[in-house]
Amino acid sequence: MWLGKFLDLDEDFQEFSEEFRKELFKSITKPKLTPLEFTILESIYHSKQISGYDLIQNLNKHFAGTWEARSGTIYPILSKLKREGFLNAKKVKSPLGPLKKVYSLTEAGEKILKIKVNKNFSDQIRFIENFLIELSLIYIQSFPEDEERKKQCRWVQNLLRNMLENIIIRLNSKDKIDKWPERNCPGCNATIYRHDATFCPLCGTELIKLPI
């Protein structure tokens, strides 16, 4: 969802000390991140430390079938982000035995991520709102009959309402999230946090209501 114009880093670098810029960004030839690179940084930030394999699984969950992350695409990007000073990489022992490489954000990578989100949060939210409205209207109007359009409009409204409520719950403290047991949607296997949710917030599949 990140628009390319938000990912230029020239102005953001000015918030780093001169010494810090020279040390951590000396190999950057173009001070700009692609939307996919930025999404990778976001995913690693939330995971704290993650292997390339697990990152690919996270990205495929993030893109929800609209795009497939593959090792041939992701590993070269990880190497580039590490080379440019955004990522650390180290080998750790795997539960299965052999060593595996895991990635985490450098201090500079985390700072760039937070600066970008902080500066552009409102614009990104408005962009997502406009996108959802336009996409929903096209979907509803793709049905030829008025009654079917009304039915689909109610379904979309319910879907978006559940999605927003799920986001709000996820933003609360973990104690509140853990108040009710998690369950998975039978349609897309997404984790459902709302105890009283009747529809999946991601795919709209009707859910069996849990007992109180």
Averaged in consecutive runs of 10 residues, what is the pLDDT profile of the chain (212 residues)? 60 67 60 86 91 92 88 93 89 78 89 86 89 94 91 88 80 54 71 67 68 45
Per-residue pLDDT at 176: 46
Q: Map residue 127 onto helix, strand or coil.
A: helix
CA 179 – CA 174 distance, rounded (Å): 9
User: Coil, helix or strand for 92?
Assistant: strand
3-state secondary structure of 131: helix
> Which is it for the CA torsion 64, 67, 68, 69, positive or negative?
negative
Q: Are strands 50-51 and 87-93 parallel, antiparallel or unpaired?
A: unpaired
CATH topology of domain 4-112: Arc Repressor Mutant, subunit A (1.10.10)
Cα 68 from Cα 36, distance rounded (Å): 12
Task: Tell me the HSE value of 59 on the side-chain side, using a 13 A CA sphere.
Answer: 24
Domain locations along the chain = 4-112, 143-192
What was the pLDDT predicted at 212? 42
Residue 193 confidence (pLDDT): 60
> Which pLDDT belongs to residue 72?
93
Look up the pTM and report it. Answer: 0.71
Give the separation between CA 119 and CA 142, rounded to whole angstroms.
37
The token pair at 148 is 């079917």
In the prediction, which pLDDT does 160 show? 87
